[in-house]
Structure 1
Amino acid sequence: MAQGRNRIYFAIAFVISSIPALFALYALQDNLTFLSTILFALSIISMGLSTFLFLGYKTVKHGTPMIFTLLASISRSLAPFARYLSRTTVIGPAFSIIIRFLFFLGFIVLLMGDNLVRTILRCVVGKHPSNRNYSITNAMDLHIELFDDSIPRTKHLENSELFKQRKQLRMTDEHNGPESRELTSLLKRPKYSVSLAYTLSVASRLVYEDVEVINVQGGNICAFITEKDDDILLVFRGTNPLNIQNYLTNITMGMTDVKSSWGPMGKVHKGFWKAMGEPKKRYNTDEGHCSDHPAQKASSSSSTGPILRIELINTSVYRTIVSAVQGLGKIITFVSTNLFHHVNEPIDSTWIGPDTDIRSNSMYTQAEEHILALIQRTHNDTKQNKMRSGLSHGSTTAPSKKKKRLFITGHSLGGAMGTIFLAKMLQSKSPLLDHFAGLYTYGQPKIGDAEFSRVFSPHMTNKIFHHVYNNDIVPRTPMSRNYYTPPGTLVYIDSAFNITIYPPNPYTNEPVPVRPISFLHLSGLLNRYVIRRLPRENKIRILFRIIFPFFLNDHFPSEYSESLRHGTVNWVIMGAGGLEGGNEEQHQSVKKRGSVHRRYSIVDVQD
């Protein structure tokens, strides 16, 4: 059967390659020697290329195990040499600078070929069952399963009593020093679930797809809201990986001050904060009026935007002319001001209608109103069920439904927008805070300064988890000193899919930063764990591993989903300062030295 297919392939290749040769024979009869030479060369090149593709395909097909074995041998041989070079004072930093320069240079070239890359990948991957194209983000793994019941439960993190027992074991361990015991006593249970983290990571992948599930839009970002039982998911989309306009928006890294009625909240990324939009002005129910100026109340609470009123008086020639000039001045001011606003901040308003003010329907406002409507609908259904139950059983009470839980999630830019959405909830004292159950982000960049990262209370930070997979470069950017690591609890996943949880500093509430990238580290196709997984990966994923550097491959959302699906939580590590997430050598020294290293507390939560 295989030999028959090979004969058919070469027969077709021979026929196609012979076409230029036939035209070359006719050209020789007319003494067109130069043209015939070119056509004969084209025929030979065509046949040679067909043969090369055939041999390359057969080599990859039958030589894959040998290639994987060779990569594993190279990885073992280079490991000591790479460790030595990474610790040098000159070669390591110089190599790091060269790699970064070449990466960003190649990335710009890649972005310039945006349309070509999209076309090629879509031809290879095919189309979605809805007859739409798959997103390039998910092209490497088309098997997207939202739930996986085989993922083991993290019972010592999901059960408060079991977590207390682990803390007691840690505190009674005679090898731990007094400071380590004090840290353990201050440790609050991270309300973390691997199975939930996996589901939300898959939802963060789905939002990249070009299917009509998006019902919240604004500026350069979009999201979807879905409801399942008593849970509501708000999922933000990340950056389109081959859209240069998205990157131009992201690199607007100026910072803006954030203030609230209860105090300052630090500084955040100006572009991200502005893209989310502002909440609607809330009313003071005690006094029956808006807390802001009445004029602002009228404009912000109205969905039609600001209203211009012109009064014309014709009691005399003078009054007629004066009032007309004043009215004309108001019209010119109104048109110029609002046209400048829409031109300066172009937003497509076709999806919301021409008679609705886009500024009063920001990304934040849409999402908040939609979620509150879902909660209110559930509340009304519960009241109706209670009334029916009372009428049928002669009682006025009925089992109450659980309170709705709101989970916010997103990958990359989507994770940053999810964090900003929660910050705006906190800033505006949104009623959604009573329903907030968790923020799970994956590979999100830094978005604010140190003050912003500390502003979230410990009650919230034990429900905020930002995941970092191995050498993902995005969580390490921007590299400016003004930017600090995102708020909440760091969940670090190494290349072997070991999951370690780092709660914030118990004294200062500062989050734990992730370690810097070592560009001399054996990663990507030279990492032994990645090599072992290659046989299970499809051709597109392997192609991406070859084309893109390891620190960009680690950013793909499929890496987060796969690592959470097969990963295991082993440690909860709390530090009082100087701790970096994902520093393997530091972890080993902490585990060995015990009470000697007094600034750390390690609680083993492996089930």
Structure 2
Amino acid sequence: MANELKRLFLKVMFAMFSILLLVGFYGFIKGNRYIYWGVIISSILILLSGITAIFWIKLCKFCAPIFIRTLIKVSNNLSPIVNYLNNTRIIGPILSWCVKVTFFFWFIVLLLGDALIRVILSRATGIHKESGFHYSPVNASDINFQPLGLFENGEELEMNKRLYGDFFPHYNKKLALSLAMASKLAYEDVPIIQSELEKSGYDMNSFKPIAYRNVCGYIAEKDDNIILVFRGSNPLNIQNCLTDIRALLCKIESSTRGPMGLVHEGFYEALGEDLNESPPESQATIELSNASLVKTFETIFGALKTVMFFALQSMVTHIHDPVDHRYLGEDARFISAYSQATRWITKLCKEAEEDNEQEKNNDPGNERSNDVRQRKSKKCLYITGHSLGGGLATVFLAKLFQHNSPLLNNFSGIYTYGQPNIGDNDFAKIFGPEIGKKMFHHAYNNDVVTRVPMWAPYSNPPGNLVYMDASFSIYIYPPDPVTNLPIPVRKISYLHLSGILNLNVIRRMKNESWLRIFLRIMFPFFINDHFPGDYARAIREGTLERVIVGLPGQVGGFEKV
């Protein structure tokens, strides 16, 4: 990347000097001294600008190791002070609350200026080469979206099955990395998503973007695998935040399974219900007549009245019930995200069955090939998402249970990253141990989103907790084997040497982009740990240390795998 920037800089300098040389030569021939001196002054200014840019680049490169060494010294010196404050009963809690209040204040300021800030940030995020679209501010500091589409079983998964049998969670590290990238990709515009999926060998005829009001996602198929990806909160999007903060719990029931516990009201309603018919779109009809001068003015004023009323009604609708323009489609207003997803996935599954049946009819005698076709005809459905997207993914699976959907036969796993709590203990227990072995919610270090909402009766997300610390060590906590309740993630210490004062983070900063370092400085550690790029990096570079059965801190479970 650095060499490409250097070559680009030299090409720009060469092009500008070439243009100035031609202009100066033209002025010399014509004897125009204004052009001649103008070229000389411009050349000097460009040369000084180039020297200044090179100086600052070299200075930053020279100062980076000094900056990192300074942070390490500060971290080591502050460590005993922070440990002392954490053990105090008054000063420590007061300082901790000051940190929380300060962050909340600045977060509200950012929300109020979300539109302006997104416009400014989009100009500094870079452009995706294949599609020509700007990257999302969420991914601008880490624009790598590969690998995608890793569905084969890893060596760790096969070894664990042999050692521990079916009791061991069906965690696939390769698949977890691939779905983390897919969740990260969901924050981009649709052309970028299509380009990256096509690069990874996905069938683009199966691709479908999902848009329902302010909920977005996409579906794609590769070989016999289907992924359903929900996008997290669009950065600084106040409509997404309103969905997040509608944290009252609503009661859900199933006609076949009975009560299913309490679930986050905002997430549940955001997916919508499965409606058979779509309400008609609002339209306004205008009739004009020029039969007479009076009739002309009457119809003109009547048309203006209709237009004004339609505009006011539409603006109120879009403010109260917004649609994300980047995923906008004909289904975005009236067909729920749940309906769009289930109908499209069902269509893909039926097409596979029909192709298998046709092959079987063409070659009915080959029993071995029939068995292979039967296995291939059953699609594997994986559901994933980051942040809000992770919450929506889990609620989507709950809706499949609620409606006793045939797609449960295709469900092969759900991997979520940085998802918030979404329901109570009764909700967490409805999936049972068999489905629970395929459910994994990842929590990276001090990510605050994985700890909220924190009040009762909220419980941790169902299934297995996959915890990754700052050193990228990965620990899996299956649900309690007796009660099937999920294991809670440890609490955050707000007086802790995290972020740019954590030694593990400091050592990695030398390989990070300037924008990622800038974000680490600007945002508190418990927000920086929520970036989707850090989840993908922790899985890629991390090591699966233990699978721990029981509560955190207890001795036991499976040792290093």
TM-score using structure 1 length? 0.71
Report the identity percentage: 43
- Maintained 8 Å contact 2:267/2:395: yes
**Aligned-partner residue type, residue 204 of structure 1:** S
Describe the superposition over 1:207-250 as per-residue Cα deviations: whole angstroms up to 9, x where unpaired.
10012455211121011001111110000000012212221222
Q: What residue in structure 2 maps to residue 177 of structure 1?
A: none
Aligned counterparts, 1:554-565, within 5 A: 554-565=529-540
Q: What residue in structure 1 maps to residue 402 of structure 2?
A: 427
Q: What residue in structure 1 maps to residue 347 of structure 2?
A: 373
Q: Does 1:221 align with 2:215?
A: yes
Q: What residue in structure 2 maps to residue 211 of structure 1?
A: 190
For 2:538 and 2:65, the matched residues in 1 are separated by: 23
For 2:168 and 2:341, the matched residues in 1 are separated by: 29
Structure number with larger C-alpha Rg: 1
Q: What residue in structure 1 maps to residue 179 of structure 2?
A: 200
- CA separation of 1:74 and 1:252: change in aligned 2, threshold 3 A: same
Higher relative contact order (CA 8 A, sep 6+): 1
- Maintained 8 Å contact 1:525/1:531: yes
Aligned counterparts, 1:270-349, within 5 A: 270-280=265-275, 301-303=276-278, 346=321
For 2:115 and 2:520, the matched residues in 1 are separated by: 21
CA positional deviation for 1:118: 2.7
For 2:279 and 2:105, the matched residues in 1 are separated by: 47
For 2:265 and 2:53, the matched residues in 1 are separated by: 50
CA positional deviation for 1:372: 0.7
- Maintained 8 Å contact 1:390/1:396: no
- Maintained 8 Å contact 1:132/1:211: no
Q: Does 1:248 align with 2:253?
A: no
Describe the superposition over 1:478-517 as per-residue Cα deviations: whole angstroms up to 9, x where unpaired.
1222321111110000000000000011111110011111
CA positional deviation for 1:63: 1.1
CA positional deviation for 1:157: 6.2
Q: Does 1:460 align with 2:461?
A: no
For 1:349 and 1:203, the matched residues in 2 are separated by: 19
- CA separation of 1:51 and 1:452: change in aligned 2, threshold 3 A: same
Secondary structure at the counterpart of residue 393 of structure 2:
helix
- Maintained 8 Å contact 2:323/2:332: no
Q: What residue in structure 2 maps to residue 171 of structure 1?
A: none
Q: What residue in structure 1 maps to residue 362 of structure 2?
A: 388
Q: What residue in structure 1 maps to residue 231 of structure 2?
A: 237
- Maintained 8 Å contact 2:157/2:170: no
Aligned counterparts, 1:556-575, within 5 A: 556-575=531-550
Secondary structure at the counterpart of residue 262 of structure 2:
strand
**Aligned-partner residue type, residue 87 of structure 2:** R
CA positional deviation for 1:94: 1.4
For 1:482 and 1:95, the matched residues in 2 are separated by: 28
For 2:332 and 2:78, the matched residues in 1 are separated by: 61
- CA separation of 1:380 and 1:69: change in aligned 2, threshold 3 A: same
Q: What residue in structure 2 maps to residue 317 of structure 1?
A: none
CA positional deviation for 1:410: 0.1
Secondary structure at the counterpart of residue 399 of structure 1:
helix
Describe the superposition over 1:364-413 as per-residue Cα deviations: whole angstroms up to 9, x where unpaired.
1110010011010001111111122238x799956323321100000000
For 2:332 and 2:516, the matched residues in 1 are separated by: 44
- Maintained 8 Å contact 1:443/1:472: yes
For 1:57 and 1:71, the matched residues in 2 are separated by: 21
| 1:363 aligned residue (307, 319, 337) | 337
- Maintained 8 Å contact 1:258/1:267: yes
Secondary structure at the counterpart of residue 410 of structure 1:
strand
| 1:471 aligned residue (443, 446, 463) | 446
Q: What residue in structure 2 maps to residue 268 of structure 1?
A: 263
For 2:156 and 2:164, the matched residues in 1 are separated by: 8
Q: What residue in structure 2 maps to residue 85 of structure 1?
A: 85
For 2:516 and 2:153, the matched residues in 1 are separated by: 27
- Maintained 8 Å contact 1:349/1:358: no
For 1:539 and 1:303, the matched residues in 2 are separated by: 48
Secondary structure at the counterpart of residue 574 of structure 1:
coil
CA positional deviation for 1:253: 1.4
Q: Does 1:500 align with 2:475?
A: yes
Gaps of 5+ in 1: 13-48, 165-186, 281-300, 307-337, 581-585, 591-599
Describe the superposition over 1:583-604 as per-residue Cα deviations: whole angstroms up to 9, x where unpaired.
xxx4xxx4xxxxxxxxx53202
Secondary structure at the counterpart of residue 100 of structure 2:
helix
Q: What residue in structure 2 maps to residue 69 of structure 1?
A: 69
CA positional deviation for 1:535: 0.8
- Maintained 8 Å contact 1:304/1:357: no
> How large is the Cα RMSD of the aligned pairs?
3.5
Gaps of 5+ in 2: 1-5, 18-48, 195-207, 282-312
- Maintained 8 Å contact 2:273/2:338: yes
For 1:247 and 1:76, the matched residues in 2 are separated by: 37
CA positional deviation for 1:462: 0.9
Aligned residues: 468
For 1:156 and 1:357, the matched residues in 2 are separated by: 39
Q: What residue in structure 2 maps to residue 110 of structure 1?
A: 110
- CA separation of 1:114 and 1:395: change in aligned 2, threshold 3 A: closer
- Maintained 8 Å contact 1:265/1:451: yes
TM-score using structure 2 length? 0.76
Aligned counterparts, 1:146-185, within 5 A: 146-147=147-148, 153=154, 155=156, 159-164=160-165
- CA separation of 1:92 and 1:157: change in aligned 2, threshold 3 A: farther
Q: What residue in structure 1 maps to residue 309 of structure 2?
A: none
- Maintained 8 Å contact 1:277/1:363: yes
Q: What residue in structure 2 maps to residue 143 of structure 1?
A: 144
Q: Does 1:410 align with 2:385?
A: yes
Describe the superposition over 1:69-121 as per-residue Cα deviations: whole angstroms up to 9, x where unpaired.
11112222222332232122222211210100011111122233334433443
For 1:452 and 1:231, the matched residues in 2 are separated by: 28
For 2:126 and 2:461, the matched residues in 1 are separated by: 37
- CA separation of 1:394 and 1:573: change in aligned 2, threshold 3 A: closer
Secondary structure at the counterpart of residue 123 of structure 2:
helix
Q: What residue in structure 2 maps to residue 601 of structure 1?
A: 556
Secondary structure at the counterpart of residue 470 of structure 2:
coil
Secondary structure at the counterpart of residue 390 of structure 2:
helix
Q: What residue in structure 1 maps to residue 457 of structure 2?
A: 482
For 2:318 and 2:497, the matched residues in 1 are separated by: 49
For 1:139 and 1:229, the matched residues in 2 are separated by: 30
